Structure 1
Amino acid sequence: MSAANYQQYDQIAVIGLNHPPLNSLGHELRIAIDALLQKGQDDPSIKAIIVMSQLDVFCAGADIREFGLPAAAMEPNLRTLIEHFEVSKKPVIAAIQGICAGGGLELAMAAHYRVAQSNTEFAFPEVKLGLLPGAGGTQKLPRAIGVESAIKLMINGNFVKGSELANTNLIDCIVDGNFLAKSIEFAKSIIIEHKPLKRLRDMQLAHIDFSIELAYFLKPYYKNAAHYPAPIAIIDSVKDAITESYEIGLQHERERFIELSNTSTSRALRHAFFAPRACQKIPGISATTPKKKINSVGIIGAGTMGTGIAINFLNANIKTIILDQLPTALDASLEKINKYYQDSVKKLRLTTSQIENSLGNLKTSSRYEDLRDVDLVIEAAYEDLELKKSIFKILDQVTSKDTILATNTSTLDINEIAACVSQPEQVVGLHFFSPANIMKLLEVVRANSTSDTVIATAFSLAKQIGKLPVLSGVCDGFIGNRMLEHYGRMARILVEEGALPWDVDKALEEWGMGMGPFRVFDLVGNDVAWAVRKRRYIEKPHIRYGKVADEICLLGRFGQKTNKGWYHYEIGSRDPVPDPEVEKIIIAYRKEHGISPRDFTAEDIVKRCIFALINEGARILEEGIALRASDIDVVYLTGYGFPRFRGGPMKYADELGLGNVIDELNTLYQESGDPFWRPAKILEEYAAAGKSLN
């Protein structure tokens, strides 16, 4: 089947883009468009040419499968195709519906006229890949919709409805209903009225004084604007559109595009874009792998996590039973769910009828027998192995042999849990992240016996409830929390040795982390990590954990829930305030244990914490707990606030160079004597072979 087709309606040629699923402008489609455009040019009976889509989208932009490959530049490339549109002796009309983004929008702007449906969505998402529109977009969009509107659209990368752009030079006519017929009617009017061949590139922008502050544009979108060069390059290109000729502006735009594509930020953002797609590829599992349809789910535990998990399924219109032995816990859960939906109505996220439908799928119970017929059970009880094993023994007695049994444990051995049931192949880990109804990451943990059907079902279900699944093997903490343990451990050791909690947080937040570790500890609850450390002291007595944290917990400073932890919190506020009392506790601890404090630079702090993530991540990859390095990056980008402009801990290691990473790890080992800092073998093997992790 051709990527585009050609039909003639009297004097009008219609080129129909037909390259599923998104009409991406790969080489095949570019060739087809160019050939059919020429066909229309060569036919003397044709007086106008319409370019539209046979799909629900006009064109979503470049073909991501060609990124970095020679096919992306093969003729006709996008710039050549745009030139052929512009120099056409016959009017070219872009009839736009669905999505028109990136290169697709640049192609549409090369047409002489544009008609669009009111609900058509326009965007330049290149900025999200650390790039700018590279085929004239920065020069034409200001001419089409105005300078300020163009800058905002390009630097936020979000979609704008056609109805919002109706009175601009971008859209000549809004067409709703009978789209093809009305587009042809519009084309005929151009012929009859002998309208000129308009080109956006020929429009003149007034030489206004471009004095608007950069921060005015950047502040709403970029917390770490200094790390994102693309928005600044976009603004500079728009300045060229105002002050230079179109040809010079186009030349500068191309130079900036090439320069941006070679930045670490763009490499990181492109990696962050492709990595979630790679996560879905699991050896041995394909589109033909059988999946179980999940129509009903039971959730054991009506606490914060169980309640958040339930909301995901209610939002997806899946029948949900929350089970807890405590009536007060069930009442509290219902209250939280009702409040969530009330807030959703106030914020216009959901309608009243949608909420009624969701709540109609909810039941509560204190009887395990009520879970007999559900398709999936998710245990979200307290993080205690014996408790979880006892729950699974009960589930083995009351549920169907086809019921998938999942645990939400964040650290415990799922193989031990699976051993408690008669069909261990039905057991899987579904590790949601808190708050479970908001965080998109879902670690799908495969135990030794978990079947392919259960894994395939988990990945399909994750998509249904709006989560991003990443496969993990069984180990203590899986991918995310296993790495986090050493990240947090190094942060606490830094405090013992001379830093203060707010110094550590500031250094890491300025480096790009969404929240410093001590703010995270307070948010999650210091008692949670304390319970894990108590187990670690027994299981891993040789590892240094930084016990000043225990002193904080012994004083009942559990974080935000007690209004004091590593920080002080005013009642009703979540803003952390450095607390002199904490500093006194730390100083006393150092004195008691004979620790002479030393000074740490921000670079020292970042190096210890981030290199801890890299080294442990490499071990996880080496052991096969993660399928690929990019899966580890997805976990940290999606669930742990790792900065997207750095691409994830493993991508960051690649950017540094694995040889440099190994040198730094060896230095840390020599300074501390901590065997943790010995470089993971896979780092040394890859460095010796000249390979990168990703």
Structure 2
Amino acid sequence: MRIVDYAMHGGCAVLTLTNPPVNGLGFDLRRGIVAALDQALADAQVRAIVLTGGEKLFCGGADVREFGSPRSGQEPGLLAVIAAIEASSKPVVAAIAGVCLGGGLELALGCHFRVAKADASLGLPEVKLGLLPGAGGTQRLPRAIGLEAALDMIVSGRPRPAARFEGSALLDAVVKEGELLPAAIAFAERAAAEKMPLKRLRDVKLNAPGADAFLQFARNNVKAANRFLPAPAQCVEAVAASASQPFDEGLRTERALFIGLMNTPESRALRHAFFAERAASKLDVPAGTPLREVRQVGIIGAGTMGAGIAMVCANAGIPVVLLEAKQEALDRGMATIRGNYEATLKKGRLSPAQFEQRLALITPTLSYDALRDADLAVEAVFESMEVKEKVFRALDAVMKPGAILASNTSALDLDAIARLTQRPRDVIGLHFFSPANVMRLLEIVRGAATAPDVLATAMQLARKLGKVAVVSGVCDGFIGNRMIARYGEAASGLINQGALPQQVDKAIEAFGLAMGPFRMGDMAGLDIGWAIRKRQAAAQPGKDFADVADRLCEAGRFGQKTGAGWYRYEPGRRDPLPDPEVTRVIEQWRADRGHTACKIDATEIVERCIYALVNEGARILEEGIAQRASDIDVVYLNGYGFPLHRGGPMKYADEVGLPNVVRALRRFAAEPGANPALWAPAPLLARLAAEGGSFN
């Protein structure tokens, strides 16, 4: 089949893009559009041309499969395709349905007329890849919808429904009922019959009184809101050119800014994150692996996590049975769920009908018998093997054959949990991140016995729930928490060496993390780490797991929930306030342990914390716990507040250069009393550095 289907409808040539899944504008499609356009122009029977992607989508933009390849730069490029359309002597009408994003919208803007379904989604999301529209989008869109609206659309990258642009120069007709193509053909035939002037947005004079003042205001706001990202500010400059420069000059300005952004580490990081998310969903299971149906979910535990998971399922339209041991706990869980939905309702993000519908999907119960019809059970109880054993033995007894038994454990041995049942092939880990109804990340933990269809079903369910899922093997802490333990160890070491919590947090937050390690500890609860260290100490007698945080916990300082941890917190507020009492505890700890304080700068703080993550990530990769380095980055970008503009810890290490990371690790490892398990370069990392390689 031709990549651009050519068909005649009366005197109208219909050119249909056929490059699944989203009609990405790869080289073959670009060449096909020009060839089909030339065919239509050479045919005297053709009076008008309709460019469409069909009734379900128009074009999703660039073909990501060609990113970085020679084909992406081969002519005709998108600029040349648009120039050919604009130069057409016959009217060219874009028929827009479904998604019309990025280069797809730029292609449509190059047509003489545009007809769209009311619910079509129009947008220029390039800023989310650290770029700006590079085929005239920043010059044509302001001429179509005005400077302010165009700037908001380009800087935010958020798509808008076509109905919003009815009456603007962006759309000539909006189809609210019926099929798109007949309406577009009728419009094209009318344009030809009535000899309508062929409109080119490039010829429109932008009317923007007060543009200078508005643009300066926009520059200030965009800069303040995007501290680490250059693309939004450059989007403002490109759009500004549409108001101050002739079209062709503005096009050259846009192109120069686009090329400059392509070479920034921030754009490389954002593009890496984009591809990493897609790669994470690829499983090493046999092709054609069947999926199990998940029509009803049982959730054991109605605490913060269980309530959040119940909401996630209800939001996706999946009925939930929520189980608790005691009525009071069940009532609290349902009250939490209702309160969360009420808050969303008040913000206008949920209709009253949706509010009632979602609550109706959640059935509270005190009996395991209510789970007999569930296709999947998710255990979300206290992080204790003893507690989980009781739950899984009960589930094994009551759940129907073929049902999936999932644990939300964040660190415990999933294989040991699976062995508690008579169906280890049906057991999998679904580690949601708190709050589960907000956080995008889901670690899918594959046990040694987990069946391929269970793994594939879990991945499909993650997509339905709107989660970004990463598969992990079984180890203490899986991917995210195993690495964060090393990160925490590095941060704790900085305290031993002379830093204070606020100094470390300030350096890490300046690097771009949403929260430093000590603020994060206070938010999560210091008692969690304390419990883990006590468990590890019991399992490995003779090994020292003691930490200065233990002394804070012994004093009842568990973090925000107790009003004091590494910081103190005033009632009703979450602002971390440095506490002299913490400084006193730290100084006493150093004295008792024989640590001598020294001055540490922000650069070393960042190196120690981030390289500790990288080093453990390399071990995880070499052990096969993670399938690919980019999976580790997805975990940290979506679950731990790692800065998007850095691309994740493994991508950041690539940007820094692995030899530089290894040299720093060896320097830390050579210090007196250094922990080799933390600082000795992982074999994979050392090997890649020596070979001039990279993780990604």
Q: What 5-or-longer segments of structure 2 have no aligned partner?
A: none
1:383-398 correspondence runs (5 A): 383-398=383-398
More off after superposition, 65-74 vs 576-585: 576-585
Residue 274 (str. 1) matches residue 275 (str. 2): yes
* Match status 1:31 vs 2:28: no
**Separation in 2, partners of 1:577, 1:586:** 16
Contact 2:219 2:236 in 1 (8 A): no
- Structure 1 position 685 matched with structure 2 position 687: yes
Is residue 2:174 matched to residue 1:174?
yes
Aligned to 1:233: 234
Quote the residue 2:126 is aligned against.
Answer: 126
Q: Is the 8 A contact 1:379 1:407 kept in 2?
A: yes
Alignment partners' CA distance in 2, 1:248 and 1:338: 56
Q: Does 1:158 align with 2:158?
A: yes
Q: Provide the rounded CA distance (Å) in 1 between the counterparts of 2:135 and 2:101.
A: 13
Amino acid at match of 1:691: G
Q: How far apart, in 1, do the equivalents of 2:404 and 2:211 lie?
A: 65
Match of 1:216 among 211, 215, 218: 218
Residue type of the alignment partner of 2:233: I
619-628 or 317-326: which moved more? 317-326
1:522 and 1:559 in contact (8 A); partners too: yes
CA distance in 2, matches of 1:250, 1:315: 44
Q: Note the C-alpha offset of 1:581.
A: 2.6
Higher mean C-alpha displacement, 615-624 vs 315-324: 315-324
Q: Tell me the TM-score normalised to structure 2 length.
A: 0.95
Instruction: Name the aligned partner's letter for residue 18 of structure 1.
Output: T
Task: Specify the SS of the correspondent of 1:401.
Answer: coil
Are residues 622 and 218 of structure 1, via their aligned partners in 2, closer, same or farther at CA, if it must alter by over 3 Å? Answer: farther
**Residue 156 of structure 1, CA deviation:** 0.9
TM-score by length of 1: 0.95
What is the one-letter code of the residue matched to 1:246?
F
1:68 aligns with 2:68: yes
| C-alpha spacing 1:152/1:361, structure 2 compared with 1 (3 Å) | closer
> 1:476 is matched with which residue?
476
Letter of the structure 1 residue corresponding to residue 199 of structure 2: K
Q: CA deviation at 1:32?
A: 2.4
Matched-pair identity in %:
48
Match of 1:185 in 2: 186
The equivalent of 1:309 in structure 2 is 309
Question: How far, CA to CA, are the matches of 1:59 and 1:559 in structure 2?
Answer: 49
Find the aligned partners of 1:327 and 1:291 in 2 and give their Cα distance. Answer: 35
1:302 CA displacement: 2.0
C-alpha spacing 1:213/1:549, structure 2 compared with 1 (3 Å): farther
Counterpart in the other structure of 1:247: 248
Q: Which consecutive residues of structure 1, in runs of 5 or more, have no partner in the other structure?
A: none
Per-residue CA distance 1:563-603 (angstroms, 9 max, x = gap): 22222222222222222332232233334444332222111
SS of match in other structure, 1:609: helix
| 8 Å Cα contact 1:18-1:55 kept in structure 2 | no
> Does the C-alpha gap of structure 1 residues 515 and 213 become closer, same or farther in structure 2, counting only changes over 3 Å?
farther
The Cα offsets for residues 475-505 of structure 1, whole Å up to 9 and x where unpaired, read as 0000000000111122122123222212111
Provide, for residues 164-198 of structure 1, a one-character-per-residue CA deviation record: whole Å limited to 9, x for no partner: 22343222333333433332333334334433222
Measured in 2, the distance between the counterparts of 1:359 and 1:244 equals 55
- C-alpha distance in 2, partners of 1:280/1:543? 38
The residue type paired with residue 194 of structure 1 is: K
Structure 1 residue 214: deviation in Å?
5.4
Q: Please report the RMSD computed on the Cα atoms of aligned residues, expressed in angstroms.
A: 2.1
* 1:201 corresponds to: 202
Pair 345,220 (structure 1): closer, same or farther in 2 beyond 3 Å:
farther
The C-alpha deviation readout for 1:98-121, integer Å capped at 9, x for no partner, is: 221111111111112222233322
Alpha-carbon separation, structure 2, partners of 1:563 and 1:632 = 33
1:641-674 deviations in whole A, cap 9, x for unaligned? 1111111111111111111111111111112522
Tell me which amino acid in the other structure corresponds to 1:682: L
Aligned equivalents of 1:359 and 1:242: distance in 2?
A: 50
Give the match for residue 103 of structure 1: 103
Give the C-alpha shift of residue 559 in structure 1: 1.4
C-alpha contact (below 8 Å) 1:114/1:172 kept by paired residues? yes
What does 1:349-498 correspond to in 2, within 5 Å? 349-498=349-498
Partner AA of 1:359 in structure 2:
L
| Mapped contact 1:97–1:116 kept (Cα < 8 A) | yes
User: 1:259 Cα deviation (Å)?
Assistant: 2.0
Provide the rounded CA distance (Å) in 1 between the counterparts of 2:162 and 2:143: 17
SS in 1 for 2:670: helix
Q: Which residue of 1 aligns with 2:145?
A: 145
Do structure 1's residue 265 and structure 2's residue 263 form an aligned pair?
Answer: no
Partner amino acid, structure 2, of 1:677: W
CA drift at 1:219: 4.1
Any conservation in 1 of the 2:430–2:444 contact (CA below 8 Å)? yes
Count residues in correspondence: 692
CA drift of 1:132 comes to 1.1
- Determine the structure 1 residue equivalent to 2:289: 289
Aligned partner letter, 2:53: S
1:354: Cα distance to partner?
2.7
Hey, what's the Cα distance between the residues in 2 that align with 1:317 and 1:221?
A: 40
C-alpha deviation, 1:411, in angstroms: 0.8
229-238 or 172-181, larger mean C-alpha shift: 172-181
Corresponding residue for residue 14 of structure 2: 14
Equivalent position amino acid for 2:516 in 1? G
